[in-house]
Structure 1
Amino acid sequence: MHAPRLSPALRLAGLALCGVLLVSSGCYQVPVTGRAAVNMVSDEAVVKMSQTAFADLKKRTPLSRNQADQARVRQIGERLAKVAFWDVPAADWEFVVFDSPQQINAFAMAGGKVGVYSGLFQICHNDDQLASVLAHEIAHVAAKHVNERLSQDMAIQGGGLLVGGVMSTTGAGAIPANAVLNAYGLSSSITATGFDRGKEKEADHIGLIYMARAGYNPEEAPKVIENLEQASAGRVTPPAFLSTHPSYPERILQLLDLMPQALEIYQRSGQTRAPQLVK
């Protein structure tokens, strides 16, 4: 069933209302980067919808039976969550590994629900490298990227979602479940695009600082990108300007630019240790 088309007048009114909200109480500051961002949706609603989606995903996707992998991801994730606490104080963190060897991927949802597909271990050769991926996903949550994405979708649609109920900031029913999954890039719909390149680069930045604060060697972060590039060799991928993710060299260069700051934080963390190789 298709949503009714908005008249030009209603679309203009929606855009105007979005503009008012942008200027008023919808702004927040992204941790670490300090970027000013916009959130026009209810934090509570996004968290509740995310928790519901995560619970459903656990029912539909088998969990890994490798208890060592489950414990390893949980231990690293909880250590990273501690350094992100003040940026996400109300999160109920949960870290699980899904049995999906073909998927080299991980994700995090508002409220602290983090999923790792078992294929990710193909490119993470030690704890520090795994920490860099988990820190990147935690960074998406800390930066409220899904809230920002939903807010942008509202503005693009000229207030369509706003008029349809998202303006109500109480209750998860105000936000369509599919809209939340699309924003995470986890929906099977062709509209599921996930986060844009700017948000992915910002998550790289924040994640690098988080892993350094937690005592994981930030120099391992670029190596994960290199491993991913090698694992992706021969696969059909879109050109960088069409991809929602930055190109591999672009991501590595940014990480190297931030490395002196990250290494200084890492050296002060008091938890310096050598990478533990996966056997």
Structure 2
Amino acid sequence: MHNACLFLGAGCNAIHRMSTLARPACLGLLACLLAAPGCYKVPVTGRAAVNMVSDEAVIKVSQEAFADFKKRYPVTRNRAYDQRVQRIGERLAKVAFWDVPAAEWEFVVLEAPDQINAFAMAGGKVGVFTGLFKIVHNDDQLASVLAHEIAHVAAKHVNERLSQAMAIQGGGLIVSGVMSTTGAGALTSNAVLEAYGLSTGIGATGFDRKKEKEADHIGLIYMARAGYNPEEAPKVIENLEQANAGRAMPPALLSTHPSYPERILQMIDLMPKALEIYRQSSQKQAPQLVK
């Protein structure tokens, strides 16, 4: 933070007095104000965000990390799972195209029955664990999960998180262009996996609650645009809650994900708009149940 203090003066003292959780958001705002070339508008929500790392570098290292990550888990031999993910993923990728035009989408189903999860990386690399099929009972519900993960990519959440982490560690983002020119060599596969919350290290905390709620918002709109019923999205959260019943869950304020009711309430608030988009979609089809 010492280098940053040279540019912020008295304002830096205020940052020092902030809680650890509040500093990243403040640093991001200051970066936007003082280094405008690193700002971008998040699709759908329109939120102003900061990206002071090279998109090309993040994509390159994410692709390498994705290749390494796939070595941990075998690709499923369940053709039904794979075909459903490919079909739904392709439809969602089409509606997200203008938000991530450079993405080369790849959808892979990984054999991990105990992992009720999915993830997406910069460049369009998407992984779905077979355990997810325990809580998605039709194509609309699977679409809601995939749309949520695609939303993280479209919003450049990993770029934003890396920018915030680099700001705290080095304080260099205040100098315009320093991080925007950072090459792939400055990023490691493990650092990127930690930013995605996929590392086995202690830093693997995933995206913060605001980013998860933003991905819910964007994902709801994406699935509606693709012709999937957004009313099925809250049901996935309910299914997840039932699947986690009896398990020790961290308090909402300590969790990287919003609480289940918090996520559902936001979806309900957004539902009128999502349903309007869904009704106007030309890609609607009858939901296909899991066999």
Q: Same fold (TM over 0.5)?
A: yes
- Please give the alpha-carbon distance, in whole angstroms, between the structure 2 residues aligned to 1:238 and 1:180: 24
Shift of the alpha carbon at 1:13?
4.7
Q: What is the SS of the residue equivalent to 1:157?
A: helix
Name the residue aligned to 1:5: none
Q: 1:198-229 deviations in whole A, cap 9, x for unaligned?
A: 00000000000000000000000000000000
Deviations 1:71-96 (A, max 9, x none): 11011001100000000000000000
- 1:68-217 aligned at under 5 Å gives the runs 68-159=80-171, 167=179, 169=181, 171-217=183-229
Over residues 130-187 of structure 1, what are the superposed CA-to-partner deviations in whole Å (9 max), with x where a residue is unaligned? 0000000000000000000001111222427999xx7362531122322211100011
For 1:243, give the aligned amino acid.
S
Shift of 1:67: 1.4
Q: Which residue pairs with 1:3 in the alignment?
A: none
The answer to whether the aligner puts 1:224 opposite 2:251 as a matched pair is: no
**2:223 is aligned with what amino acid?**
M
Listed one character per residue, the Cα deviations across residues 228-252 of structure 1 (whole Å, up to 9, x for unaligned) are 0000000111011100000000000
**Change in CA separation of 1:262 and 1:108 when aligned onto 2, cut-off 3 Å:** same
- Between the aligned partners of 1:72 and 1:194, the Cα distance in structure 2 is 26
Matched, 1:248 2:257: no
State the 4+ residue runs in structure 1 displaced beyond 6 angstroms. Answer: 14-18, 160-163
My pick for the range that moved more, 153-162 or 95-104, is: 153-162
CA contact (8 A) 2:51 2:180 kept: no
The reply on whether 1:12 has 2:5 as its aligned counterpart is yes
- Work out the CA distance in 2 between the residues paired with 1:158 and 1:42: 16
User: With structure 2 as the length reference, what TM-score do the two structures score?
Assistant: 0.88
The runs of 5 or more residues in structure 2 that have no matched partner are 13-26
* Cα deviations by residue, 1:4-27 (Å, 9 ceiling, x for unpaired): xxxx74463587897567522110
Per the alignment, in what secondary structure is the counterpart of residue 28 of structure 1? Answer: strand
Tell me, yes or no, if the aligned pair for 1:14 and 1:158 is still in contact at 8 Å. no
In 2, distance between residues paired with 1:22 and 1:155? Answer: 14
Aligned partners of 1:49 and 1:180 also within 8 Å: yes
Preserved contact between residue 99 and residue 117 of structure 1 (Cα < 8 Å): yes
Q: Residues 266 and 21 (structure 1 numbering): CA distance in 2 closer, same or farther, change over 3 Å?
A: closer
* Alpha-carbon distance in structure 1 between the residues aligned to 2:181 and 2:8: 18
Query: 3-state DSSP class of the match of 1:86?
Result: helix
Q: How many residues align?
A: 271
Greater mean deviation of Cα atoms: 239-248 or 64-73: 64-73
One-letter amino acid matched to 2:203:
T
After superposition, the Cα gap between the structure-2 partners of 1:120 and 1:144, relative to the gap in structure 1 and judged at 3 Å, is same
Relative distance call for 1:41 and 1:50 in structure 2 (3 A) is: same
Distance 1:13 1:183, change over 3 A: farther
Mapped to 2, the partners of 1:73 and 1:259 lie a distance apart of 24
Letter in 2 for 1:45: A
Identity score, percent: 77
- 1:268 maps to amino acid: Q
Alignment of 1:33-44 (within 5 A): 33-44=45-56
- Does the residue aligned with 1:276 lie in a helix, a strand or coil? coil
- Tell me how far apart the structure 2 counterparts of residues 196 and 179 of structure 1 sit (CA, whole Å): 16
